[in-house]
Amino acid sequence: MAGVARAEWIASAGWAALAVLVTAAFLMPWYILLVLPLAALGDSARLRYATLALTAYLVVTHAAGLPP
């Protein structure tokens, strides 16, 4: 039971960090490092996919020189 509760708060923290990044007015590509460990350790597959999508977006916009 303790393992389930641990995974739930990690996934919740990951979603909160992802929400902060998505709503940030100024976004640097390395900010995704705040979410990656939480997405890896959490039990939410949707959090992993959302983190992957945001990572891809940041890589593409940063490589093209566009403002995020």
Residue range 4-63, pLDDT digits in tens: 666 689 999 999 999 999 999 888 888 999 999 999 999 899 999 999 999 999 888 888
- Of the candidates 43, 29, 40, the one whose C-alpha atom is nearest the C-alpha of residue 54 is 29
Confidence of residue 68 (pLDDT cuts 50, 70, 90): low
Q: Are the CB atoms for 17 and 35 separated by under 8 Å?
A: yes
Q: How many domains does the chain have?
A: 1
- Of the candidates 56, 62, 23, 19, the one whose C-alpha atom is nearest the C-alpha of residue 38 is 19
**Domain span at 37:** 2-64
In the three-class reduction of DSSP (H, G, I as helix; E, B as strand; rest coil), residue 3 is classed as helix
In the three-class reduction of DSSP (H, G, I as helix; E, B as strand; rest coil), residue 6 is classed as helix
Tokens, residue 23: 């709503």
